[in-house]
Chains A and B, each alone.
Chain A
Amino acid sequence: MSRKTKWGAMAIAIIAFILLGSAIESTTLTNRALVVGLAIDKIGEELEVTAQILVAKSDRDPSSNNTVISAKGTSISGALNVVSQQTSMLVALSHCNLIILSREIIEENAYNILDYLIRNSYLSENALIVTSEGKAKDILNTKVAFSEMTSFYAQRTITSYGNYKGISKKTVKDFLVNFHTHGKSNWLTIIKPIDIKAPPDTTVASGAEGGKEEQQFIFDLTSSAIIKGNKYVVTTDEEGTSGINFFRNTIDRGAISLIGDNKESIELYIIKKNNKTKYDLDTKKVIIEIDMLVVLKEVIDFRGLDMPIDKVELTDTEKARIQDKVKKEIEDVFLLAQENDVDIFDLYGAFYRRYGKKWKTVAKEDYLNDITLEATCKIRFK
């Protein structure tokens, strides 16, 4: 190839790269509406999508403001287009790590609504999904105590303390995977704002409208909404969430409290936990054995006795009480799920993975009612 031809070909290639590449949307940072949290509500036949948006002050100034904006549409992408028009910026979901679905959404259409987000390659499949008791939009508008942004605070709390015994973590990917199990069972963390300046035990179900300056909120994330297929079924409390986490072996640390034989307040901390699960096809019995390594963290003895913590040992009855507590948490949440016909632990899949076709021949349509679950817990001290 002559030098002229080479340079000619190179020039054509470069021009083609530039011309064709310019068709790919490249928007500067200042013209992007970086969504960090998304809330989806249902208003009549329409969806209301609320986005918490990070706005860069300028290309040179990396600091940012955030704003919350809502738009209605018959689809999520339609509503997001409206947000783009209203903000005059291109909505970008690449940094969105929190999706809040309102109770109304998960009542009937949990998976259908998520389908667009699941298939949207720009949204990370590791984005967290939670649900709210009231409007999802109000959660994003809540003024939280420990962050400028609600989304970051919720994301940080769930990521750091998700699977911390009483909080569970669910990502878009987890939701998708669980939806495609035989029982199509799922559960989502319920996000509840609590006003920390209000008297204790005040839970504000619908968040702080307008975010009054004197109010500051934290989130209670301990209860979970159990879903089957597209539909919400029932809510569990902290013990139920803990039972789910214990069974699914997702707890890697967490605290356990108990009252001692002499009314002491005792605090234990889980260091390590292992599960061993046995599935018996003939009896359709599931036995889960939990082995926990814990450290005795604190004992408050109100009798005023001098009891240095390194010299204290729990009595057998106290140990049994902890073991019973864990056992009860698992068995109770299983019974709750069984009553509501939700295979929360994917036991159909667990039996199938062990027994293959044999399981399919013995499993009836209401197989969950035939299954019994027994939990045992062994505690070892460090």
Chain B
Amino acid sequence: MNDKTLYKRQVALLIFFIPLVFKLSILPALLANAMSNDAWVGILFIVVVEFIQLAVIVQILNIGGLKALKEKLPKPVYIAILTPLLFVFAVKSLIFLSEMINYVTSYLFYNAPSSNICVILLIAISYVAVKGARAIGRLGEIMIWLVPTIILVGFGFGKVELQVEYIFPIFAEGVAPIFTGIDKHILWMFDFSPLLFFTLSETKKKRPYILIASILSILAVVGTYAVFMMNYGDAAHLIDCAFARLAAFNVVSTEIGSIDWPGIMLWLMMGVITLATKFFASGEILQEYKIKNSYGIIAMAVIIGGVYLLLITNIEGAINLATSYIRYIVIGLEIVIPFLILILLYVLKGAKKLNVKKN
């Protein structure tokens, strides 16, 4: 197995984690602000559409992935197709990194300077990215055990205090707020394109890992939003770090203190893994420019860290960037490029067959 290859179960875990991480931090509050109690319906729509992008990417991986494309296309064309993704990964990494820094400096250590946290996180993310697919896949396999741990801790010590009626009425104000909300926060969607840069290991056993992970991921995201709304009602727009808040399970106890630590660990590690996939993919693109993968990743980290520290500086700056017109360019590229690759693969495959027949 080379450093790009992932087992199907590892890809499935990434598919489970990727939509879960940054849709469950600050986005629930932003969507609640835009869509009110319909936020959980809005996110259902978002994740279902998002998985169309995933279907395209999985199909690309199944028919040979970027390796096949590289073989069939002239190198300059191949590089021209992939290079815009560098911009996509950089902008998204910048925003998601800001969320992680905000999480650490507002929820865990609010006296900690964000510049230090920024550098520490970038070192961890870059390290995982440099180590490559094996480290990313393995981390996912380790972290997944925190999910049942959180559920067990929740059942063991937590209290369910949900007001189911808070998720109603549905569409009371029409569908306009939902689409306005999606439009404004579209940058938090379509995160699967780094998977293009991995290759799937070939196995004889055909197990539906990816399908199961996709269904579980949709259920987990939508379920968490519904629980979030049932917990906070009309105050949901004030609650950032949604996942960590929910992982406290309404416990009032001085004896055992807070029980949110498995949730904190899981969210932070999921964040590191997700950003590491973007850094890894950026390193792969830069490699096409004869820049060594690890140097490419370090360059990416330095640029993102520099832009964060000099221009963005806090979560408000990141939200302003994410909701600016730049979002249309980022999402446009993120949707168009995988479709373009898939079409090219099919067209070139067809052309190759024709050539074989002519010969």
Contacts and interface: CB of A to CB of B under 8 A. Distances in A.
A16 B108 CA distance: 20
B235 A20 contact: no
Interface residues of A, number: 39
Interface string A222-242: 000000000000000000000
B316 interface: no
Contact of A20 (B108, B120, B238, B258): B120
Interface in B97-149: 106-113, 116-117, 119-120, 123, 127
Interface stretch (A187-195, A310-318, A347-355): A347-355
Interface string B249-268: 01111100110000000000
Contact of B254 (A1, A95, A352): A95
Given A124-B258, A152-B254, A171-B250, 14 more contacts: A16-B123, A97-B252, A118-B238, A121-B107, A121-B110, A124-B252, A126-B251, A127-B252, A171-B252, A177-B232, A179-B235, A352-B169, A355-B169, A356-B169
A266 B76 CA distance: 90
Contacts of A20: 116-117, 119-120
Interface string A345-382: 00001101111110000000000000000000000000
Interface in B69-108: 106-108
A34 B175 CA distance: 48
Contacts of A125: 245, 248
Contact of A24 (B109, B250, B294): B109
A179 B235 CA distance: 8
Interface in A318-356: 349-350, 352-356
Contacts of B251: 124, 126
Given A125-B248, A177-B235, A16 B119 contact: yes
A181 B234 contact: yes
A86 interface: no
Contacts of B252: 97, 124, 126-128, 155, 159, 171
B120 A126 contact: no
A176 B245 CA distance: 14
Contacts of B173: 357
Contacts of B109: 24-25
A177 B233 contact: yes
B231 interface: yes
Contacts of B169: 352-356
B112 A23 contact: yes
B322 interface: no
B168 interface: yes
B57 interface: no
B112 A25 contact: yes
Nearest to B257: A95
A197 interface: no
A13 B107 contact: no
Q: Which of A20, A21, A127, A349 is packed against the most chain B CB atoms within 10 Å? A: A20
B172 interface: yes
A180 interface: yes
Contacts of A155: 252, 254
B116 A21 contact: yes
Q: 8 smallest A-B Cβ distances: which pairs?
A: A356-B172, A20-B116, A180-B235, A356-B169, A180-B234, A24-B112, A121-B107, A353-B168
B132 to A, nearest CB: 12
Given A126-B248, A177-B235, A181-B234, A24 B110 contact: no
9 contacts: A20-B117, A24-B111, A121-B107, A124-B251, A124-B258, A126-B252, A128-B252, A180-B235, A356-B169
A353 B169 CA distance: 5
A121 B110 CA distance: 8
A97 B254 contact: yes
A355 B108 CA distance: 41
A153 to B, nearest CB: 11
B120 to A, nearest CB: 5
A179 B233 CA distance: 10
Contacts of A118: 238
Contacts of B106: 121
